[in-house]
Structure 1
Amino acid sequence: MSLRPDTASRPTRWPGYAAAVWGFVFALPSFYWAMGGLTGASTTLAPALVELARERDTGFIAVLWATGALKALGGLLGLLLVRRRAWGRGMSRFLQLMAWGAAGLLVWHGAEFVGHGLLVQTHAIGIDPDLRTVSRWYTFLWGPWFVAGGVAFVLAARTHLNGVADRMDARTAGVVGGVGALVLSAISLIAGMG
């Protein structure tokens, strides 16, 4: 069985669509919680966050709306990465910067959830027994979901790069985005914010 000539030369688009779906789907819980929905939150989220949502804390609700918007922008970024030949040089660099930055943040954050959670699950570190159920959700749902999003953005960025005229500039922008995201994550971890 051979591929038709027109399908053999067509660019792979699924990684960009996967990143888009990931972003849009992941935005939904943030918007749901921002609008006051709490179904399932008490078993899947840290109790302090559930309490802030339950109290309708203005600052926390604003954070939920902002994170939902950022996740939706991630979905839009995935769609923009699909249309790689439609953009000029500056936009291609910007898309690479953003895609690798998103990938770095997501993989780091997800790996942090999984790593910490595995240490808790194996009793290498202790936590309040009331948090064990929530820890399992972070270990086996939220952490892997973040990593999956990061991988989707890595694949979308790499696929996008194949259609970029000036790959060196775009690749450099991607490195800056990825390294910048990791440095930002490390600083926030050291500062106790992440």
Structure 2
Amino acid sequence: MHSLDDTVPPVRHRTVRLRLSNWPGYAAAAWGVLFAVPSFVWATGNAFGAQSTVAPSLVKLARDGVPWFVAVLLVTGFLKLFGALIGLGLTRPRGSRIGRLMVFCGGGAATLLTWHGGLFVIHGVLVKAGVVSVEPDLAGLTGWYLYLWGPWFIIGGLTFAWATALHVRQSDDRCKLRLHGAVGALGALVLSLASTVTGIG
């Protein structure tokens, strides 16, 4: 006959495993917060960290405080913070509607970020290989986009993908959640392709 104490270690182990499995969601949230900081800093006109890592034309817009560009920086900053909230949301079980929204946004963020970062890396490799040429004033930025921004976006995308997959695995409504995640990923891919083709964004 087993005592009540015999059941404590397994329950405790399951709780510890559940908490450890949530770390990708917390990592995605941290990624969003860290990435939001430069947007808000640059929106103030302070170009710290941007002079050598971002296109000169964008640095000038930030320093001059051009209203529409400041608005863009603020919007993107808040979107990154929203991404951080999505990451946190993926660490906890949610009701059907909220859970589906989390997975939809998580799948979209994973695809959008990975695609965006992949384009940076591919373009950087092609420039380094001499297959693609860039303007002289942008040549120095190639390394930053290849070794910093590209991998940074990809890491964010993979982190959101992992957090989303774990959230789905821990849910009792996996089929519907997978569908919402796939729709979010497809929507993000279509948006990314349209942005690439039209040169907007």
Same-fold call, TM cutoff 0.5 = yes
> Higher mean Cα deviation, 148-157 or 126-135?
126-135
Give the drift of 1:134. Answer: 1.2
Counterpart in the other structure of 1:75: 84
Matches within 5 A, 1:110-189: 110-189=117-196
Name the CA distance, whole Å, in 2 between partners of 1:150 and 1:38. Answer: 26
Q: What letter corresponds to residue 138 of structure 1 in structure 2?
A: Y
Name the CA distance, whole Å, in 1 between partners of 2:83 and 2:105. Answer: 9
Give the drift of 1:148. Answer: 0.3
Query: Which blocks of at least 5 consecutive residues in structure 2 are unaligned?
Result: 1-8
Counterpart in the other structure of 1:59: 68
Counterpart in the other structure of 1:21: 30
Counterpart in the other structure of 2:113: 106
Counterpart in the other structure of 2:3: none
Name the CA distance, whole Å, in 2 between partners of 1:152 and 1:114. Answer: 18
- Aligned residues of 1:89 and 1:165 also touching (Cα < 8 A): no
Q: Helix, strand or coil: the match of 2:140?
A: helix
Give the drift of 1:47. Answer: 1.1
Name the CA distance, whole Å, in 2 between partners of 1:29 and 1:18. Answer: 18
> Higher mean Cα deviation, 35-44 or 175-184?
35-44
Name the CA distance, whole Å, in 1 between partners of 2:49 and 2:182. Answer: 38
Give the drift of 1:139. Answer: 1.1
Give the drift of 1:131. Answer: 1.2
TM-score of the superposition, structure 2-length normalised? 0.90
Give the drift of 1:7. Answer: 2.4
User: What CA RMSD, in Å, does the superposition of the two structures yield over aligned residues?
Assistant: 1.2
> Higher mean Cα deviation, 22-31 or 159-168?
159-168
TM-score of the superposition, structure 1-length normalised? 0.94
Q: Helix, strand or coil: the match of 2:133?
A: coil
Give the drift of 1:189. Answer: 1.0
Q: Helix, strand or coil: the match of 1:188?
A: helix
Number of residue pairs aligned between Structure 1 and Structure 2: 189
Q: What letter corresponds to residue 96 of structure 2 in structure 1?
A: R
Give the drift of 1:8. Answer: 4.0
Q: What letter corresponds to residue 154 of structure 1 in structure 2?
A: A
- Aligned residues of 1:97 and 1:177 also touching (Cα < 8 A): yes
Give the drift of 1:153. Answer: 0.2
Counterpart in the other structure of 1:7: 13
Render the CA deviation track for 1:3-33: whole Å, top value 9, x for unaligned.
x532245321111011001000000000110
- Aligned residues of 2:40 and 2:73 also touching (Cα < 8 A): yes
Q: What letter corresponds to residue 172 of structure 1 in structure 2?
A: L
Query: Which blocks of at least 5 consecutive residues in structure 1 are unaligned?
Result: none
Q: Helix, strand or coil: the match of 1:67?
A: helix
Q: What letter corresponds to residue 125 of structure 1 in structure 2?
A: V
